[in-house]
Amino acid sequence: MTVLETHNLQKAYRQHGKLVEAVRGVSFSINAGEILAFLGHNGAGKTTSIKMIAGLIQPDRGWVKIEGFDPHRQPQALRRLGAVLEGTRNLYWQLTAEENLEYFGILRGLNRKVAYQQGIYMLERFGLLHKRRTPVQGLSRGMQQKLAIAVALVHHPRLLLLDEPILGLDAEASQEVKGLVREVAAEGCAVLLTTHQIEVAEELSDWVAIIQNGKLITLEPTQEIIRRFSDSTYIINIQEQLDSGRINKILALGATVVDEQIGYSGTPQGLYQILEVLNPLPLVQVKQEQADLTQIYLELLRENSDA
């Protein structure tokens, strides 16, 4: 079931009399239980898109639907939404952990008793129960981040927006937050996650969306994109250096040769042509290289900046 739908979102800012086109036609959707990693370089338009989805800034064009409701016009949309924007601004620093949860629970439509109970449940779940009476300013950064996510979830939203949720967290807190994101999705919440740690996106996401200069250049299931790139990359190791005749033939087939290693990105047929040139030299190994999302991400950004 589709939880979030965005269509042709556009936003330009006026900066020193100049128009900055931050988002230039972004469309995607997220189903219940799915995590979409929203990737892109600094200033690519991620936070601007998220703010439009969260109903915080009005798009110049395009629309957002959260389970069919428009966050800019229909308050039902906001009840279905939890968001942690850059930093931890969705918390009141002088209120305690439990007061924050209760306050925001009520704000999003729970009655006082349910808000309190849900707050306690969230504190337990996030391992923060022992800090329930501590004001936010007395919590560590990682605890504040976990509390911010707890607050975003207190009313059981259908859509969770997380802008850089693990920035600045230590290894243990990052693991915990990643685990929580997985759990929330497993319970059926749709999650939009931005991160500059591409390996985190690879670990968590079902879908990858890459935004460059305000436009989506990629929107594809994570495993498919990894398979697509991995399928076509081979490394061949040979026992000794090649003679120049063979090197030239192999280069002509579009492969690279570095000492005893040949690298090739292309079709299986092309691979067999290379093996034919090598015949009958002894091979050490032929392997398909598993592409990782970081390589793919950089490659896609490069391809599209050439275009």
Ligand X SMILES: Nc1ncnc2c1ncn2[C@@H]1O[C@H](COP(=O)(O)OP(=O)(O)OP(=O)(O)O)[C@@H](O)[C@H]1O
Least distance to ligand X from the beta carbon of 7, Å? Answer: 18
Please say which residue, 151 or 162, places its beta carbon nearer to Mg ion.
162
b or e along 45-61 (b: 16 or more beta carbons within 10 Å of the residue's beta carbon)? bbbbbbbbbbbebebee
Please say which residue, 47 or 218, places its beta carbon nearer to Mg ion.
47
Least distance to ligand X from the beta carbon of 38, Å? Answer: 9
The listed partner (Mg ion, ligand X, none) that binds 42, CB under 5 to 8 Å by sort, is ligand X
- Give the helix/strand (H/E) hosting 184: helix 171-186
Please say which residue, 39 or 291, places its beta carbon nearer to Mg ion.
39
The listed partner (ligand X, Mg ion, none) that binds 22, CB under 5 to 8 Å by sort, is ligand X
The two three-digit tokens of residue 187, written as one number: 């319970």
Site for Mg ion (CB under 5 A): how many residues? 2
Q: Which stretch binds Mg ion (CB under 5 A): 21-29, 41-49, 225-233, 280-288?
A: 41-49
Q: Which stretch binds Mg ion (CB under 5 A): 38-46, 168-176, 184-192, 209-217?
A: 38-46
Least distance to ligand X from the beta carbon of 296, Å? Answer: 18
Least distance to ligand X from the beta carbon of 124, Å? Answer: 32
The DSSP code for 277 is H
**48 lies in the site for Mg ion, by CB under 5 A:** no
Please say which residue, 46 or 178, places its beta carbon nearer to ligand X.
46
The listed partner (ligand X, Mg ion, none) that binds 77, CB under 5 to 8 Å by sort, is none
Least distance to ligand X from the beta carbon of 45, Å? Answer: 4
Least distance to ligand X from the beta carbon of 57, Å? Answer: 8
CA atoms within 13 A on the CB side of 60: 14
Please say which residue, 57 or 242, places its beta carbon nearer to ligand X.
57
Give phi and psi for 76, each to the nearest 5. Answer: -55, -30
- Give the helix/strand (H/E) hosting 53: helix 46-53
Separation CA 218–CA 29 (nearest Å): 13
Contacts of 15 by beta carbon, 8 Å cutoff, 6+ apart: none
Whether residue 71 is preceded by a cis peptide bond, meaning omega within 30 degrees of 0, is no
Q: Which stretch binds Mg ion (CB under 5 A): 2-10, 40-48, 52-60, 109-117?
A: 40-48
Which of 47, 88, 96, 218 binds Mg ion (CB under 5 A)? It is: 47
Separation CA 22–CA 277 (nearest Å): 51
Please say which residue, 6 or 48, places its beta carbon nearer to ligand X.
48
Please say which residue, 54 or 236, places its beta carbon nearer to ligand X.
54
Residue reference for tokens 């749709």: 190
Closest CA to 152 of 77, 66, 90, 72: 90
Separation CA 177–CA 155 (nearest Å): 18
Which residues of this chain interact with ligand X, rule CB under 6 A? Answer: 13, 15, 20, 22, 40, 42-48
3-state secondary structure of 154: coil
The listed partner (Mg ion, ligand X, none) that binds 219, CB under 5 to 8 Å by sort, is none
Least distance to ligand X from the beta carbon of 3, Å? Answer: 22
Closest CA to 3 of 108, 79, 109, 105: 79
Closest CA to 266 of 280, 279, 250, 248: 250
Which residues here bind Mg ion, judged by CB under 5 A?
A: 46-47
